[in-house]
């Protein structure tokens, strides 16, 4: 009778460690999933940029003296990959994010480098540009984590013992420190190679053995390294290339002029009495504006206007009639950013386009309907970097008409229905960091079905109204 009770007691004892083992396994799994990133910020906007970076990656602040202290502890040169490896080893970091802020007068820049903790090497970098420090911080908060998510996932902390610390006092460390102390005196005279001499017998300090840690660089040497080492944030090589490749303006203002033509033609003119219209060429000053304050530059508002100047229309007798062409629109959209300069945007706009021919009581205008198109345009906006400062610009949209002007009146074609399309393509050439020349060609085309019925004063199957233009704009990008 006691045997079953003994069996149950043994089974309970054997099962009791299981919760502890499970808890230990869970704790181990949790520790493996946690990652630790250090953020080291410098420059005029370091407070804002550093705070935004810490928030974006949920990192820890690297104290100002931590990097030189780590380099000294492990006997490596400041500004090199091993120095960042030493920092990561000391602070147990998977990666170090070095944020260098730069004041360009009209803009604030943040150059961010991601360094792998296990090697100290740069695995990714990018630059952000904003009109002020506050906007820069907002941009980093929203864009930095998505930009570096993949590269941060590849980083890892250095293995314990991957670097050997230099003894804190005496021996090799004391001898290595001696040349650094004598550096100011040595700088006063030209350096000359001195042959090594054997140490005298009984000398208290023997010569440095091969492979001993070199002295830490002086301030002068560190400044020189920053000008030549592309791995050091603040070096001319790293900053210039990153800035050139990643500028995304928040405000874009463009102005210029275009030459345009118009061709209005009927189809299936039953009585052959309707007059078409053809304009050879006319000049229209133009301006565009794009403001991108939302979602880290992805959400934007846009507007444009173009208007003819001094335009006259002539009939077959040579009589001139004052004519005005006006087109404007405004709307907004969202861009999917590609790389450092390219994007694909989806946008919606309200578009208004008028073409009006005026007459007088003594000189009435030709029997050609004036048009006033109001439309909701939905389409795409494209920009693709081609090479260097040159980018392809393009876009297209469908226009849903809800007003057409005189052509839809009772005296013309009251049962008309129509739609419109527009497309543009061209190139943009950057002139420095703030300006761009754009050469663009644009097509706008409206098509109508008039749906005539017996008794209508004017009978035609439909019409097309086509505008072609080509122009040049100078853009100011902030």
3-state secondary structure the chain: CHHHHHHHHHHHHHHCCHHHHHHHHHHHHHHHHCCCEEEEEECCCHHHHHHHHHHHHCCEECCCCHHHHHHHHHCCCCCCHHHHHHHHHHHCCCEEEEEEEEECCCCEEEEEEEEECCCCCEEEEEEEEECCHHHHHHHHHHHHHHHHHHHHHCCCCCCCCCCCCCCCCCHHHHHHHHHHHCHHHHHCCCCCCCCCCCCCCCCCCCCCCCCCCCCCCCHHHHHHHHHHCCCCCCCHHHHHHHHHHCCCCCEEEEEEEEEEEEEEEEECCCCCCCCCEEEEEEEEEEEEEEEEEEHHHCEEEEEEEEECCCCEEECCCCCEEEEEEEEEEEEEEEEEEECCCEEEEEEEEEEEEEEEECCCCCCCCCCCCCEEEEEEEEEEEEEEEEECCEEEEEEEEEEEEEECHHHHCCCCCCCCEEEEEEEEEEEEEEECCCEEEEEEEEEEEEEEECCCCCCCCCCCCEEEEEEEEEEEEEEEEC
Residue with tokens 């400044």: 223
pLDDT in the model for residue 220? 46
Alpha-carbon span 263 to 283, nearest angstrom = 16
CATH class of the domain defined by 249-477 = mainly beta
Of the candidates 257, 303, 286, the residue with the CA atom closest to the CA atom of residue 471:
257
Residues 216, 219, 223: CA angle, nearest 5 degrees:
110
**What pTM was computed for the model?**
0.54
pLDDT in the model for residue 168? 56
Domain boundaries in the chain?
34-172+202-246, 249-477
Token pair for residue 440?
Answer: 């663009």
pLDDT in the model for residue 247? 53
pLDDT in the model for residue 460? 94
pLDDT in the model for residue 284? 97
3-state secondary structure 168-200: CCCHHHHHHHHHHHCHHHHHCCCCCCCCCCCCC
Sign of the torsion formed by the C-alpha atoms of 457, 462, 464 and 465: positive
- How many Cβ atoms from other residues are within 10 Å of residue 273's Cβ? 11
Residue with tokens 């005296």: 411
Q: For residues 327 and 335, is the Cβ–Cβ distance under 8 A?
A: no
pLDDT in tens, the chain (478 residues): 444 444 444 444 444 444 444 444 444 444 445 899 999 999 999 999 999 999 999 999 999 899 999 988 998 898 899 999 999 999 999 999 999 999 887 788 999 999 999 999 999 999 999 888 888 999 999 999 999 999 999 999 999 888 888 775 544 444 444 444 444 444 444 444 444 444 444 444 444 444 444 454 444 444 444 444 444 444 433 333 333 334 578 999 999 999 999 999 999 998 888 999 999 999 999 999 999 999 988 999 999 999 999 999 998 888 999 999 999 999 999 999 998 889 999 999 999 999 999 988 888 889 999 999 999 999 999 999 999 999 999 999 999 999 999 999 999 999 999 999 999 999 999 998 899 999 999 999 999 999 999 888 899 999 999 999 999 999 999 9
CA terminus-to-terminus distance, the chain = 90
Q: For residues 339 and 385, is the Cβ–Cβ distance under 8 A?
A: yes
pLDDT in the model for residue 110? 93
Sheet arrangement for strand 122-130: 60-61, 37-42, 95-103, 108-116, 122-130
The pair phi, psi for residue 426, each rounded to 5°, is 175, -165
């Amino acid at each position: 009778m006691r045997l079953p009770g003994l069996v149950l007691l043994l089974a309970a004892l054997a099962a009791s460690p299981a919760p502890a083992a499970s808890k230990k396994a869970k704790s181990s799994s949790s520790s493996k999933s946690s990652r630790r990133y250090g953020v080291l910020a410098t420059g005029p906007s370091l407070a804002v940029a550093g705070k935004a970076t810490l928030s974006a990656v949920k990192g820890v602040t690297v104290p100002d003296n931590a990097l030189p202290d780590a380099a000294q502890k492990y006997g490596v040169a400041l500004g090199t990959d091993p120095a960042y490896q030493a920092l990561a080893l000391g602070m147990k970091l998977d990666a170090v994010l070095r944020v260098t802020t730069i004041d360009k007068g009209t803009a604030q820049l943040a150059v961010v480098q991601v360094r792998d903790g296990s090697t100290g090497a740069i695995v990714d970098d990018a630059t952000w540009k904003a009109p002020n420090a506050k906007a820069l911080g907002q941009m980093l908060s929203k864009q930095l984590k998505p930009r570096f998510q993949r590269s941060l996932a590849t980083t890892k902390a250095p293995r314990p013992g991957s670097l050997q610390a230099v003894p804190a006092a005496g021996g090799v460390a004391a001898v290595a420190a001696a040349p650094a102390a004598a550096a100011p005196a040595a700088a006063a005279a030209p350096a000359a190679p001195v042959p090594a001499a054997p140490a005298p017998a009984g000398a208290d300090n023997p010569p440095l053995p091969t492979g001993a840690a070199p002295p830490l660089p002086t301030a002068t040497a560190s400044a020189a390294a920053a000008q030549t080492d592309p791995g050091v944030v603040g070096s001319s090589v790293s900053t210039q290339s990153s800035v050139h490749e990643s500028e995304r303006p928040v405000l874009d203002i463009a102005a210029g002029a275009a030459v345009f033509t118009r061709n209005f033609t009927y189809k299936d003119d039953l009585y052959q009495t309707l007059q078409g219209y053809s304009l050879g060429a006319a000049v229209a000053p133009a301006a565009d504006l794009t403001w991108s304050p939302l979602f880290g530059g992805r959400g934007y508002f846009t507007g444009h206007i173009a208007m003819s100047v001094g335009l006259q229309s002539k009939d077959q007798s040579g009589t001139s009639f004052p004519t005005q062409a006006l087109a404007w629109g405004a709307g907004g959209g969202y861009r999917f950013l590609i790389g450092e300069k390219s994007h694909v945007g989806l946008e919606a706009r309200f578009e208004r386009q008028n073409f009006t021919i005026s007459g007088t009581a003594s000189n009435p205008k030709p029997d050609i309907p004036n048009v006033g198109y109001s439309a909701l345009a939905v389409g795409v906006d494209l920009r693709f970097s081609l090479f260097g400062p040159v980018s392809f610009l393009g876009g297209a949209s469908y226009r849903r008409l809800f007003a057409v002007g005189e052509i839809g009146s009772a005296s013309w074609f009251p049962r008309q229905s129509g739609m419109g399309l527009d497309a543009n393509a061209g190139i943009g050439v950057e002139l420095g960091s703030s300006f761009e020349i754009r050469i663009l060609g644009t097509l706008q085309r409206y098509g109508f079905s008039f749906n005539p019925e017996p008794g209508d004063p004017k009978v035609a199957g439909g019409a097309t109204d086509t505008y072609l233009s080509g122009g040049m704009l100078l853009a100011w990008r902030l």
